[in-house]
Amino acid sequence: MFEFLSRLFGGSDGSKNRAKERLRLVLVHDRASLSPGLLEALKEDLIQVITKYLEIDEEGLEVNLDKSDDSVALIANIPVKNVKRGTK
């Protein structure tokens, strides 16, 4: 049974990480009433802007929404590899 599931969902770490990311996006959607597509678009836009100034580890990047009683906070964990110098 495990072998079947491994083949179905991919046994590599990359596939595992993508599946975890998709699940996380679904959970965030449920908590904040934000579509997973919109959150993914936000994440891609953040990557585009941040990579103008910093070299980041995109695999380690996490973007979450934290919903409290009356507000929602955007929480981003962005591993920085290097600061780019001389950007325009």
The C-alpha atoms of residue 32 and residue 68 are separated, in whole angstroms, by: 9
- Model pTM greater than 0.75? no
Q: pLDDT tens per residue, the chain (88 residues)? A: 455 555 555 555 667 777 777 776 666 556 666 677 887 888 889 889 999 999 999 888 888 877 777 777 888 899 999 998 875 5
Half-sphere exposure (Cβ direction) of 62: Cα atoms closer than 13 Å: 11
**Quick one: CA torsion of 69, 18, 46, 58, rounded to 10 degrees?**
130
Domain extent listing, the chain? 2-83
